[in-house]
Amino acid sequence: MATPDSAEVVVIGSGICGALAARKLALRGVPVLILEAGPRIDRGRIVAAFRNSPRKGDWMSPYPYSPWAMQPQYKPKDNGYLIQAGPYPYPAEYIRVVGGTTWHWAAQAWRLVPNDVRIKSLYGVGVDWPMTYEELDPWYQEAEEILGVAGADNTGSPRKHPFPLPPVADPWSMIRFRERLAPVYPVVANTVARNSRSYDGRPACVGNNSCQPICPVNAQYLGINAVEAAEAAGVKVRADAVVYRIEADAKGRIAAVHYYDPDKTSHRVTARQFILAANGIESPKLLLMSTSSKYPNGIANSSGMVGRHLMDHPSSSLTFYADEELWLGRGPQSPSSINTMRDGAFRSQHAAYRLDFTNISQVLSVTEALIAEGVYGPEFEKQLRWRAARQCNVKNVLEVLPNPDNRITLSSEKDALGIPKPVAHYSIDDYTRRGAERSKQDFAKIAELMGGTGLRYSPDGQFANNQHITGTLRMGDDPAKFVTDGFGRAHDHENLYMCGTGVMPTAATMNSTLTAVALALRTADHMVPAKSSGADNGGAT
Amino acid sequence: MKSVNTARGKVEPVDGCATPASRPDGPIDPARRKLLAGLVTAYTASLVPWALAVPVTDAGHGAFVALSAILAGKRVLNSVLGQRLHAALVDIEPGFDADCQALLKQIEAQQIDPAKLQGALDAAHSSLAPLPRKLMRAWCLGLVGDGEATRCVAYENALDAVMVADVLKPPTYAYGPYGSWSNPPAAKGGDEHGNA
């Protein structure tokens, strides 16, 4: 039996963007209800599940799977949730639980570089954003102060105020990369939502080297921290509530959302305003599902743009052995980058990219390789130590331009609740592939400077996905071309807003979470402007 | 080779781990105690002299211990973990002990260098070719079984973690105080294999 319910604002999705937008509204006195499709989970149980997992390299493996809130999983076999239409595979991963996918992010909290929002004007590719970098600066700052972002001022992203935290201490391996590449490349510390000292009641990092899939000690800001902060501000969170329909009234305002509980009992929740924050795949899926006689193409989709311009960051890479012992695996996983190719006139010709160094322990991959090679006896331990000490990896993080044919659509296949599964249509164009080709020069030079041997390039034309699901709900001024306006409000519905990486018009070269959080805070501020200055701006949660 | 035909009880999974029916994770019953030295030939003894005093329950277990020592190289193996791994492997593959004995017999008969073992088995298309990798996967990654039936029996005590424990902690375990990872890695001194 349906349970009537209401709130001033209903937020669909409890990830970091939805939760922080909800918190901001609650701090301004607005009653907010978050509906989350998945269950609540416990950090300690995730840590234990990882240690007991037979698939340590599969960062989805410790997370629970809920039949009523399916999520893409590919190991030990594809669960068939995210259907691949091709031509290039798009095996996105995300977690449908309270707190969302940043449970297992690397906490890389980059800003854009200023020219990222003007690539159409400057380079004739992609599209310009409906705002300047300077307009984003205060929202970045607010996001950074909530998340506790650590960084230095040499990343190419200007700022008016200092980082809340100094950069995280370099692992020895990255000190050596910085020293040895210095003649050619500046190696900079990543800006990360990882504590370089105690901050906001959370401890400094102690180097567990499991940022993905789980920070055991709460030194890394996660979506669950955002949820807890939202709840402390008065937000109500309802888990296991799978929204399956957004209902508009005769005037085009959103009147209600409908959700199923795990038993498929339907519930209807009304509100004055709504925020859709269910990620770049689930959000367009829900909009496309919400058809009616007045909205045959779904909610917010008069432009036909919902689900289109799907982007991410493909990566190719080089793995090699340095000529000295680096011992990756000491300290956090994602410490350093080279940013010199994130912007430049070349962007008219090929994709920009960031070069990313991993500090993930190599012991697992080396062990698997030695077993595969059949190395036994005393040579096994000798080889394990030699390779684990010297093996290192650099990858590119490539920009993908918005392409309307890269999109999310609905399948005729249904999940356990009878909800259509999403379909990914994806390709990687020549612009991005030319960027990958260009980066091979950098890979080779880096290996040379590190005395590299045993060079193993990822196969030409093959890319790893980075799970930075971008686009599909893009913001822009023209209602015929964009789903949302410059503040994330649906062009078609005055009381429906969207938060998350989906609203980003382009993907640029940085991990997308910080930008999405900054935009979400800006959206919440636009929905309910502050009555007095700064009550919820800045400062920790 | 001296043969011991001690019947093994049915192995039941306990708390997710298969364990010997006699005493899960406990020491081997003294009444059933044998030493590996009594089960192997001079050639095996020459390969793994440090393992000869390891207590074993029967010929199958003895072959598993001997093969494990040969494959893992110069490393004293954790006998309790060995019991757990052996029980798990036997549990999912009833012919496991017989395979271990057959492979050990072949190594002894042909005096196969461990470094050349996998190549020799592959070249001969031997039905025993998958066995060394099963043992190494169990000892080094803590994993037994395949596909969806794969089980994790060990993590912190798996050999891949133990072999680098002087330098690294297994992921999820704290490395040390903030910033301690900025220091040069200080591997403990030892022989050419890193054994302290």
Q: Is A161 a catalytic residue?
A: no
B165 interface with A at CB cutoff 8 Å? no
A281 compared with B7, residue with greater pLDDT: A281
In the structure encoding, which two tokens stand for residue A252, read together? 């085009």
**Cβ(A387)–Cβ(B81) below 8 Å:** no
Angle (nearest 5°) at CA A120 between A116 and A124: 120
- Domain boundaries, position B68: 12-155
Residue B97 lies in a domain: yes
Number of residues assigned to chain A: 541
Please count the residue pairs, one from chain A and one from chain B, whose beta carbons lie less than 8 angstroms apart: 169
- Residue A51 sits at the chain B interface (C-beta within 8 Å): yes
- The Cα–Cα gap between A425 and A403 comes to 11
Answer whether A380 sits within 8 Å of B71, measured CB to CB: yes
In a domain, residue B21? The reply is yes
Q: Nearest by CB to B182, from A175, A216, A385: name it.
A: A175
Q: Is residue B162 part of a domain?
A: no
Q: How many residues belong to chain B?
A: 196
Measuring CA to CA, which residue among A361, A280, A324, A261 is closest to residue A2?
A: A261
ipTM: 0.94
Counts of helices then strands in chain B (DSSP H, E): 7, 6
List, for residues A59-72, the tens digit of each pLDDT value: 999 999 999 999 99
Q: Chain A contact for B129, CB < 8 A?
A: no
In eight-state DSSP terms, residue B137 is I
CA B90 from chain center: how many Å?
13
C-beta separation of A359 from A321 below 8 A? no
Chain A residues with CB-CB distance to B149 below 8 A: none
Side-chain-facing half-sphere of B156: CA atoms under 13 Å: 6
**A324 touching chain B per CB within 8 A:** no
**Residue A471 and residue A403: Cα distance in Å, rounded?**
10
| Number of domains present in the structure of chain B | 1
CB contact (8 A) between residue B118 and residue A376: yes
pLDDT digits (tens, 9 = 90+) for A485-513: 999 999 999 999 999 999 999 999 999 99
Residue B53 domain-assigned? yes
More confident residue, A172 or B7: A172
Residue B47 banded pLDDT, cuts 50, 70, 90: confident
The tokens describing A8, both together, are 């001033």
**DSSP label of A150:** B
Ordered structural domains, chain A, with CATH = 4-527 (3.50.50.60)
Residues in chain A closer than 8 A to B167 (CB atoms): 327, 330, 389
Per-residue confidence (pLDDT) for residue B27, from 0 to 100: 58
Q: Outline where B14-162 has alpha helix (H).
A: 42-47, 59-72, 79-92, 96-110, 114-123, 130-136, 159-162
- Inform me whether the pLDDT recorded for B100 exceeds 60: yes
- Both tokens of A141, joined, read 């700052």
Measured between alpha carbons, how far is A502 from A307 in angstroms, rounded to an integer? 9
User: Mean pLDDT throughout A304-329?
Assistant: 98
Query: Alpha-carbon distance A213 to A93, whole Å?
Result: 12
Best interface-test mutation with A: which of B113, B121, B166, B172 has the largest number of A CBs within 10 A? B172
Residue B196: pLDDT above 50?
Answer: no
Would you say residue B170 lies in a domain?
Answer: no
Window 360-389 of A, Cβ < 8 Å to B: 360-361, 363-364, 367-368, 370-382, 384-385, 388-389
Report helix, strand and coil shares of chain B as percent, to nearest 5: 45, 5, 45
Residue B182 belongs to some domain of the structure: no
Q: How confident is the model at residue B37, as a pLDDT?
A: 84
Degrees to nearest 5, angle at CA A22 with A21 and A24: 65
The per-residue b/e assignment along A464-502, b for 16 or more CB within 10 angstroms, e otherwise, is: ebbbbbbbbbbbbeeeebbbbbbbbbbbbbebbbbbbbb
Whole-Å CA distances, A205 to A192, A296, A541, B119: 11, 50, 18, 45
- Distance spanning both ends of chain B, measured CA to CA: 33
Identify the pLDDT of residue A52: 98
Q: What is the pLDDT of residue B29?
A: 64
Lowest-pLDDT range of A45-49, A260-264, B34-38, B157-161: B34-38
Q: Is A258 on the interface with B (CB under 8 A)?
A: no
pLDDT of residue A134: 98
